[in-house]
Every structure is written in structure tokens, then in C-alpha cells.
Structure 1
Amino acid sequence: MARYHIETYGCTSNRGESREIERRLRDAGHYRVDGAEEADVAILNTCTVVEKTERNMLRRAEELADETADLFITGCMALAQGEAFDRADVDGQVLHWDEVPEAVTNGECPTTTPDAEPILDGVVGILPIARGCMSDCSYCITKQATGKIDSPSIEENVEKARALIHAGAKEIRITGQDTGVYGWDEGNRKLHRLLEEICEIDGDFRVRVGMANPKGVHGIREELAAVFAEYDELYDFLHAPVQSGSDDVLGDMRRQHQVAEYVEVVETFDDYLDYWTLSTDFIVGFPTETERDHEQSMALLRETRPEKINVTRFSKRPGTDAAELKGLGGTVKKERSKEMSAVKRDLVADAYADMVGEVREDVLVVEEGTADSVKCRDSAYRQLIVQNASDYGIAPGDFVDLEVTAHETMYAFGKPI
């Protein structure tokens, strides 16, 4: 679990995004501290109104980079003029605000709330289906807080899902340290069975499955992909963090899976689903990662072409085995991260560009955006923004048909039809 320090500059939109970043970090078990010196990570949400503001943002980024182990830079200046931070040689990662919470985790499993109870947030229901995991990753401190997997029964989780839907949830987010190993503590892999039962609940809703490590998914990949193909209620979206394209590094990370198993999971979902989103994570600059290992990760990224990618520079967590290893230099990690992030942006932008001109049916309006916009998710959980939403009379919880009219790197724009 990480200690974070966050600073926000600029407009109401930036402040709203920072609040959402903090909410997700708190839900994942991280906590805020005052001052970058006490933090594991610092987050700078930037503004770019005038030239003086830009100079201030660069100066503050340089200060924060010197004060903390890892710096994440987001906001208007980061996205519009990210190269300025590179030119200033700021040791920080430029990210879209939506990517910050997962980047902060450093590849660790998320940490659900201690009581692991459902939460209704707007039209989104958060359903933790289990606590703990079956992994023993050498870099992860979360395991020390959560322990082994503890899976409530299918019946108990279905009742919780039903209660969320009856309370108004239109999107159920299945969460846990590792959803793919749900039921392993009972000797029975049963995520696919749980999803079937939830999808049979009466109502009009969607279900998103949270992070599932490749090893857990691999053993039930056929059954799981078949459930995704059968039920429209399920977003065709899989978050399977591979972390490296090198089996040697995966071994040092104690990740349990090998690259071939990850690829087999991807190929299985390709066989069952025509249109789906693969999400994955890479840790760049693990202490034992060689240049050849990095090249293997780059090759795997290009081969599997995920549409959502979290790239994180390795950062030592106290009390973990990986913290005892001699680390790579900051410059090496920075250059490898920049190379992977550049390919990532191209892959994600290509995925959204391919959507332009197409029609997406039964798109769920999930939440309000900024300046009279709403954020929506299509069947593969890709984000569509509808501007001037009040003109169309649409609001969170509605299902709409959209024509995709344009795109940015991380999302597309849609117009109701």
C-alpha cells in the first residue's frame, strides 16, 4: 500500500479529476500524507492557462521529483505539452488522469476495504467478491495486509449483486485482489459460475470484471470466454496484468504464470469474441530486467496489442524481497518507460481511431463528465464521451445508441442517434 501526496492546480475540472483519483486510491488501500517527503508517490495535476503557469508547473514538477521516489504528472499541461517535461528532464511519468490510480499501485494487487462490502456510487455498484490472493509476488506489499484468498459463496455474492441492482446500480464492478482465483480456497475455480449467476439477475445492467492474474484465468480460460460470449450483460473486457514479456523476469517477480500462458488466454478470448478489450500492465525496470528482457516486453506488447495498458516504473516497497535487490538506474527506467509508453499511446489511439464512423448500440451512460458531457461505456468497456448531453436528454443510467464521430488517444466521441 502506498503513501501518496497530491497537488492540484487550475480549474474545477482538474479538482474533480483529483477527487476521483483520490477516491480510487483510497478504495485500493492507499492513503494520503501531507508533503512529498513523506510519500512513496507524488501526483501533480497541472494547469496550462498562460506561459507563467507553465513555468510554475515545470518548476514544481522538478521539486516534487527531487522530494519523492515516484512522480506522476497529469492534467492539462501534461496531456497537451507532455514533451515539455521531457525537455526539462523531469523524472516523472506523464499520464492521463484515469491511469494514475493503477500506476500508483506499482503492479500490486488492489486492496479492498476491510469489510469488503458492496458500495453504490451513482449508478455504479462496487462488488468485492473475495479478499486476498494466491500469489506471492516479490515486489508486492499488499499481500502482507490481505493474506490468502477468502471467497464468500456464490449465493452470498449474487445476493449482494442483486441488492445493488435493486438499489439502482446499472454497472456492477466485480473487484478483488485477483478475481481469477475466486473459489481457489475451496479447491474450486468458479469465477465463470459466479458471473453466470449474476447475469441471470432480472434487470438492465452491465458487469465489469476487475483484475484477474493470467495464471488464474488460464485454467478456466475456455469456460470464462464462453460466458463472456453468451451474456450481453458482461462487458467484453479482461484485465490480465502480464507485467513482463520475459519469463526470466516473471520468475524473479514470482508471478506464477509464464508468457505463453498469457498469450494463450488472449488467443482464447480472440477465438470467442469478435470485439473485446484486452487490458494489461507492465512493470518497467524491475531490478533484474536486462535490455533483452525489455525488448521481449516490447515485442509482447506489439504482438498482443492491448487496448488499455498501464505502464509503471518499478519502485521498491519496504519489506518486500524485491526491495533487497540492487535496482536499475533511474535513467534506464525512465528511457524504457518512455519507449513503452510511446508504443502504448499508438496502440490505444489506433483502437479508438478504428471505431470512428461506426455505431455502438446499447451504450451505458455511466457518469457525468465536464462541461455538460457524459462518460459512456460500450460493450467492450471502451470510453465514449457525449458532449452537450442535456441537448439529448441523456443522463447516467441511460442506455443509448451512439455514432462514433471522433477520437482522442484514450477515448472517442459519440453522438446519439
Structure 2
Amino acid sequence: MNRPLLPNKHLPAARRAGAPTTFQVKSFGCQMNVYDGERMAEMLTAQGMNAAEENAQADLVVLNTCHIREKAVDRVYSDIGRMRYEDGTRPMIAVAGCVAQAEGGEISRRAPTVDIVVGPQAYHHLPELIGKAVRGEAALDTDMPAASKFGALPARPRQARPTAFLTIQEGCDKFCTYCVVPYTRGAEISRPCSAILDEAKALIDGGVSEVTLLGQNVNAWTGEDERGRHMGFDDLIRALADLPDLSRIRYMTSHPNDMTDGLIRAHAEVPKLMPFLHLPVQAGSDRILKAMNRNHTVESYLTIIDKMRAVRPDIAVSGDFIVGFPGESESDFEATMTLLDQVRYSMAYSFKYSPRPGTPAADMSDQISPDVMDERLQRLQARINAHQVEFNSATVGKRVPILLERVGRYPGQLIGKTPWLQSVHVTAPHAALGDVIDVDIVSAGPNSLAGEIAGRKAA
């Protein structure tokens, strides 16, 4: 019988003997971590291992970690400490991702039960590292090789859902003063166009009809076509749009400095490119943006939004905000609130500043007190939520196409996404996942919409 992990720290921690035959991959953080977790799972499956059910006993547990905020790091060590089974054994434990890259061998010293440490640019070596761990050898790989890891990964298998992530670019050259990504993911690297198209075709052949292109700075992607001619990110989008069975294209996360006029035009000219733009700004004060080394201003950011709305008036804009950056005054914060009212985001992610070791901001004076950050975050999120409700409510009474992605909680209920990334609940007993159907939006909440199949009134 499968038994869950127990939070009993007094049980012995002897690892189960032999090579693992079952695994779980637990991913935390951004969409790129989700993608990496999926690729690790596909790789382990290709090695003959079987995925264990969630919360069930597995021989190998891979913690695919995030290092953006301190709490995320603390959670990793907390999870490691809880990994004990009822029979007194523990699984083989692998720590992957950005925490592995940032802390390296310190992880095994701090948590001796960890068997494998592998960074985000080396996870294609995971099978070799498992072999080392089985033999009792040190299993650590945090190299950032120049060669792409993607060529070492197995072909994409058939997907169980109609949407999929597709990483096209990794790393960051921007060096924002609060961010660890340049140190944990390395310099900006773009995957070749041909490799991206091949992976997209494999996903489409496996049942996917929508892809979300991923990158730390996804719109910084550059490449060449089959004739060696330069391609920008907008050219890649147009090449993907030529794939006949691909219905929708999305992308994230973008940087304002890489928003070209060509990419803006693509939103007007490529019907498969959804009217949704995730464009983090982080703050509404030029003084704070300069301290963050963001290299854009509020004015230049708003100019991008104005250009986008000029060519695609229905565009939904989302963003990221950091509250309590060192030196942030009340007037700086109010400038961020003003920016919120100017843009009126359809949704936004917001966080309290978290000092990360090794980043310039961690050593800045004028660190903001937790109480002030808490109060400002509550005000910011209340404003964001109000705008989100406003955006969703404006959809009521409209007929919109939704791509059905998953089963709802009630019989016959399915959940799909509008072009603007809103979740819609609809009773559609004769529809199937992957279908695109027209629905009439009848009500809206802060996080989702309710719809009826177009032209059909509820009984």
C-alpha cells in the first residue's frame, strides 16, 4: 500500500536500498520550473522509471526549486526534513533548480539526507547522478555548459492536456539589483529556431493546441532561419503560427527593454497570438527603477502599453510588482499605485522585497521594515484585485471563444481559457478537452468567469 511522507523527525533516515524505480518531481516557482520539472519527469520515464502518484511513496523525490525569495528556500529545507516513510526509510532525494545552483554543496552539508544536487542547466545529467548516488558517490553538478542541454533530452511524449509550456530562451543579462537569476540561470541563451519548431511539432502531434513560450526574458530571443537570416522574437512567433494545427500562442516573461515594434505589430497581425501581455514593471517610481537597475522608466513603460493598445485595443496586460525595495518612500509607493490606475492590469503578481544573498540590493542601506512592507502590499493587492474584478466584469454579456483545458468539479463541467487568459466554467457535456467553443459570459468573479454554450440558455 502506498503511504504518505510523515513529518516525524525522530524516525531513522536510512535511504531505501537499490536503484529507484519510481519517482516524483515537485516543482516550485515560475513556469520555467514547471517546464523543467516536466522534462525531468519525461527523462526519468524514458529511463524506465514510473511516476508515483501525488503524496504516494516514491523511491526518488526531485525537489525542483526556486531561489527568488527567502521563504521559497526555507520551504525546500523544511520539505527535506519531512521526508520519512512509515517503515523508517526515506526516498533518494534530489535537489534541482535554482536553489541547487545557488547553494551547491552547501545543501548536502546543511541537509545530509540529500543525495543529489543538480542545477537548472545540468538536469539532463540526472540519470548519471542517480547512478552515482546508488553507488554511494558524490552526486553534484552545477555546471553551466555552453552546449545546450535540450539536445540531450528525450522527445516530447503525448501530452495529457491541450496546452503546454515550451522554453525557448534561458538566462538573463539584465542584472537587476534584487535578482539572482543571472547567477542561477546564467547568461541569456536562445534555443535554435529549428529546435523550437521541432518541439512544437512534437507537442502538436501529441495533442497540444496552445503553446506558451517561456524564457527569463522571452522577448530577448534571437536566432536564424533555415537560410541563416537573422530572426527576432516576432519572426519566431510568425513561424510558429504557420504550423497548421496550432491554435494559440502565448509567451512570458517579457522585459520592457526587449519590446520591439515588430513584436507589437505581431499582436495586430498574427491571429494565433493571444491578446495577453505579461510585462513586469516592478515599481512606478523612476528613482526606485534606477536603484533596481531596470533600465526603463515609467514613461518608456507606458509608451509600450500605449503602442500595444493602439494596435490591439483589447489587449489584457499583467505585470509584476515588488513592494518595499530598499529606500522606497511613501511617495515612491504612491507612484506605483498611480501606475496601477493608469494601466489597469487584468491581473498582476506582487511580492514583498526579499533580500537574496549575493545581490547588490541585499547590501543596500535603508532596508524597509517588514511591517511597512506588509501594509503597502495589502494596499497594492487591494488595488490590483479591484482592477481585476473590473476587467472580468467587463466580459459579462460578451461571446468569447474558450479553449477547454480541464475538467471542473461538477458533472459535465469543463474549464477553459479565454484569449485574455481568464478561466471560464461552463457546463458542456458533449465537448472534449482541447475543443475551442464559443460561450456567452453570464457572470464574473475575481478569479474566474461563468459561461454558457453560445446560444443556449441554462435550464
TM-score, with length taken from structure 2: 0.65
| RMSD of aligned Cα (Å) | 3.0
Partner of residue 146, structure 1: 185
Partner of residue 165, structure 1: 204
CA contact (8 A) 1:277 1:382 kept: no
Among all aligned residue pairs of Structure 1 and Structure 2, give the percentage whose two residues are the same amino acid.
25
User: How far is 1:395 from its partner?
Assistant: 2.6
User: How far is 1:289 from its partner?
Assistant: 0.9
Please state whether the residue corresponding to 1:143 is helix, strand or coil: helix
Partner of residue 235, structure 2: 193
Partner of residue 272, structure 1: 311
User: How far is 1:134 from its partner?
Assistant: 2.3
Partner of residue 382, structure 2: 342
- Report whether the alignment pairs 1:247 with 2:247: no
User: How far is 1:256 from its partner?
Assistant: 1.9
User: How far is 1:273 from its partner?
Assistant: 0.7
CA contact (8 A) 2:173 2:182 kept: no
- Report whether the alignment pairs 1:181 with 2:220: yes
Please state whether the residue corresponding to 1:289 is helix, strand or coil: coil
Letter in 2 for 1:353: S
CA contact (8 A) 2:323 2:350 kept: yes
User: How far is 1:382 from its partner?
Assistant: 2.3
Change (3 A) 1:246 1:335: same
- Partner Cα distance (1:153, 1:193) in 2: 13
- Partner Cα distance (1:281, 1:377) in 2: 21
Please state whether the residue corresponding to 2:451 is helix, strand or coil: strand
Letter in 1 for 2:170: R
CA deviation string 1:339-376 (max 9, x = no partner): 1111111100000111111111x321122233343221
What does residue range 16-415 of structure 1 map to in structure 2 within 5 Å?
26-27=33-34, 31=64, 40=73, 114=123, 115-116=149-150, 120=159, 122-183=161-222, 190-217=232-259, 220=260, 222-326=261-365, 327-360=367-400, 362-372=401-411, 373-386=413-426, 388-390=427-429, 393-415=430-452
- Partner Cα distance (1:302, 1:399) in 2: 33
CA contact (8 A) 1:365 1:395 kept: yes
CA contact (8 A) 2:212 2:249 kept: yes
Change (3 A) 1:28 1:260: farther
Which has more radius of gyration?
A: 2
- Partner Cα distance (1:154, 1:274) in 2: 30
Change (3 A) 1:273 1:32: closer
Change (3 A) 1:25 1:265: closer
CA deviation string 1:17-38 (max 9, x = no partner): xx897795842777469xxx98
Please state whether the residue corresponding to 1:404 is helix, strand or coil: strand
TM-score, with length taken from structure 1: 0.71
User: How far is 1:325 from its partner?
Assistant: 2.2
Letter in 2 for 1:368: V
- Partner Cα distance (1:23, 1:286) in 2: 21
- Partner Cα distance (2:231, 2:71) in 1: 41
- Partner Cα distance (1:41, 1:189) in 2: 41
Name stretches of at least 5 consecutive residues in structure 2 with no aligned partner: 1-6, 8-25, 37-62, 79-119, 124-148, 455-459
CA deviation string 1:145-167 (max 9, x = no partner): 22111112223322221221122
User: How far is 1:187 from its partner?
Assistant: 12
Letter in 1 for 2:237: L
Number of residue equivalences: 324
Partner of residue 106, structure 1: none
Name stretches of at least 5 consecutive residues in structure 1 with no aligned partner: 1-6, 8-18, 44-66, 68-110
CA contact (8 A) 1:312 1:337 kept: yes
- Determine which structure has the larger helix proportion and give its number: 1
